[in-house]
Amino acid sequence: MFKPSLLAIAAAMLASPAFADPVILEPVQVTAGRLPEPGFELPQPLTVLDAEAIDKKSPQVMAELLRGEAGVYFQQTGPGQGMAIVRGLKGAEVLHLVDGFRLNNAFFRTAPSQYIALVDPWNIEQLEVLRGPYATLYGPDAMGGVIQIRTPEARFEGSEVGYRTEAKLHYGSADLAKIGRVSHAVGNDRLSVSGGYTTASYGNRQIGGDQGQSADGQGNIRFGDTVGPGEYTSRAYDLKSLWAPTASDELMLSLQYFDVPDGFFRYNEMVPGSKPITGSNPARAQSVYFNSREFYHLRWRHTAPLGFIDSLEAHLGRQVIDDDRYDLLRNLTRQEREKNRSTLDGFTLAARSALGGAQQLSYGIELYRDAVKSAKYRSDAGGPFNPNSPSTGFKSRFPNGARSDNFGVYLSDAWRFAPDWLLDVGGRVNQTSTELPAAPESDRAVAGKIDNTDYSAQLGLRYAITPNLAWASNLGRGYRAPNINDLAQVGDRAGGRVVVANTGLKPESLLSADTGLKFRGGSLAGEATLFYARYEDRITLINPAVPNGEQGCTEADGCAQNQNIAEATYYGFEGALRYRLLPKLLARATLNYTWAEQKNGGLTEPGNRVPPLNGLLALAWQPLAKVELEPSLWFNDSQHRLDSADRADNRIAEGGTAGFAVLNLAGRWSVGENLRLQLMGENLLDKSYREHASGIDARGRGVSLTLEAAF
């Protein structure tokens, strides 16, 4: 159980008066508004991790970088998977961008998914989270917020050709992590080329205490201090070129690739948590995912006036995500193989124009097309499994050849109508057209075309109380059109559910309001925000929803189907603080709380997978010029507010998730200008814990060593 005294510590830190000499904490430049600007100047609440903060972390997956940050919660279904929950919303309810291009695709789920983890966490320069519906500039799905992932760009000064090489090595004892990355860049102020390669391997995870569980491959569970199967490897390649043909033009060409060549296991399908795995389909002895992501990206920036336009930025990109998997059932008599591919092509054009010195217009268009290929094969429906036996086509997860087109146009106006006041108002109209072809191999898919046109709007207000203290409030409407996963996913799902399509789904919408303070200057920086959101027509998988004999359902107990829930309500608090206690002592603290309730017909219950009260306390002390020590305490309260899906989820303990507090200690030594060592003791008290709704226990006591070198 979470101890109330921890809250007192957090409150004391947030309320302590400054007593140190002033040390200015510099503002962070963010691209949330599509062009770099200080986050302190924006009305919207922001969470930002810059390169220095990222370098201090050792993530297994990208979203783990956001653990303990303001307004964000990390959930992990199993090794190689993980996502960020923003203000209680997750998956497709949050828009994810990589260098300004959408990561969300047509089969993104509103539940935990592994697609967010297909970005190399060791090749990120900055992470930005806009909390709240910021759909005006970025379009559908930006309801809970926008997560912007920025990868490094090699820039050099002067006409002389320069170069730099960087290498990173990491070892972690708790999950036998072995990671290596090397990158090289060469160029001058006109042209640069950079590239890198990352390889990572993980073993079974050591968890806290002396209790663990793992599968033996024969359907049995053994206990020990590790959990498995969790072994997997990943690899990533990246290449980026910057060319400035003129003083006001820049072209960027980028290639990113990430894959898990040997596959990884969906842990919670293999090993039961606090409840046994139930349903007509038994838990699988092997359920392995082979995922990859390719990303090709061309960007043009123009920073000189073009008539009415002051600056212009265009993006052209293609993202290909492969979600291949195979399931070998416990009786070892049948193998199912799936191949699912999303090919997302996109073009965006964003412009800015100044109207005098008081108004800044941002406007543009977006076009995205997502084509889905899907196939499923089943071998040896009876008798011993033979890997060389022929396969036959079987109900594919999605209609093969389905397509989704998105077109959006937006306008936003940042108006300083008085010296200390900023009004940020904007709107967007977006059309989504989804085509579902006939699927002869599936008796549950529905052919047809679904068109949705909806709007997003925002109103932000910022008042500078002093140069270092600002009050900000926002009102916004975001929406999400049903995607191919919502409309036409069919076939077997975990827990014995069989899903039928529903082409009558309506778009979801969310109306949100927040208000709070931003402060920066002297020895103090941070923000504190209260928020409220009302979610309408939320799409949720209902089981059972369709009786046998209706809509192609042939299951005796009925079939599951995605349907629009009437409404859900969220409110909460999120805060972050950086406080320079002494010239060489910096304190950090975060505190997050989200409460949610949803109504479905006549049933009222808590929100689904809502994070508990959580936060972080850390002290960074520099006893010597090149040495830094950082103890940190990350804590969660218990979470007993569960909806019916949470109560049936074997990942969540009976009655809810227990609270915990985890103590870590990091030491960093800058050996020279080009070499740094970091030694971290993780979970020093060997706490056995599981983050709420995660499918695997967190790492137990362990030691990690990271070496960074530049040449």
Q: DSSP letter string over 283-311?
A: PPSEEEEEEEEEEEEEEEEE-S-BTTBSE
Taking 70 as the threshold, does the pLDDT of residue 30 lie above it?
no
**How many percent of the chain have pLDDT more than 70?**
84
Taking 50 as the threshold, does the pLDDT of residue 560 lie above it?
yes
Average pLDDT of the residues in 349-365: 92
pLDDT per residue over 123-180, tens digit each? 999 999 999 877 677 878 888 899 999 999 999 999 999 999 999 999 999 999 999 9
Specify the DSSP element, H or E, that contains 148: strand 145-150
Burial of 197 (0-12, 13-18, 19+ CB in 10 A): middle
Least confident of 247-261, 262-276, 322-336, 646-660: 262-276
Confidence bin at 542 (pLDDT 50/70/90): confident
What's the CA gap between 680 and 707, in Å, rounded?
12
Is 0.85 topped by the overall pTM?
A: yes
Taking 70 as the threshold, does the pLDDT of residue 273 lie above it?
no
| Higher-scoring residue by pLDDT: 541, 604 | 604
Taking 90 as the threshold, does the pLDDT of residue 20 lie above it?
no
The pair of structure tokens assigned to 552 is: 């192609």
**How many percent of the chain have pLDDT more than 90?**
60
What's the CA gap between 180 and 397, in Å, rounded?
36
Q: What is the mean pLDDT of the chain?
A: 85
What's the CA gap between 378 and 195, in Å, rounded?
41
What's the CA gap between 350 and 341, in Å, rounded?
29
Q: What is the per-residue pLDDT for 21?
A: 34
Using alpha carbons only, give the angle 474, 301, 406 rounded to the nearest 5 degrees.
60
Confidence bin at 545 (pLDDT 50/70/90): confident
Taking 80 as the threshold, does the pLDDT of residue 29 lie above it?
no
Q: What is the per-residue pLDDT for 522?
A: 81
48 C-beta neighbours (distance < 10 Å), count: 20
Confidence bin at 8 (pLDDT 50/70/90): very low
Contact between 514 and 532 under an 8 Å Cβ cutoff? The reply is yes
What's the CA gap between 90 and 111, in Å, rounded?
6
What's the CA gap between 298 and 231, in Å, rounded?
35
Confidence bin at 669 (pLDDT 50/70/90): very high
Contact between 123 and 198 under an 8 Å Cβ cutoff? The reply is yes
pLDDT per residue over 189-205, tens digit each? 999 999 999 999 999 88
What's the CA gap between 102 and 96, in Å, rounded?
6
| Higher-scoring residue by pLDDT: 40, 380 | 40
Taking 90 as the threshold, does the pLDDT of residue 283 lie above it?
no
**Domain 4-710, what fold?**
Maltoporin; Chain A (2.40.170)
Q: What is the per-residue pLDDT for 300?
A: 97
What's the CA gap between 122 and 168, in Å, rounded?
9
Average pLDDT of the residues in 14-31: 42
**Amino acid symbol at 4:** P
Average pLDDT of the residues in 634-640: 96
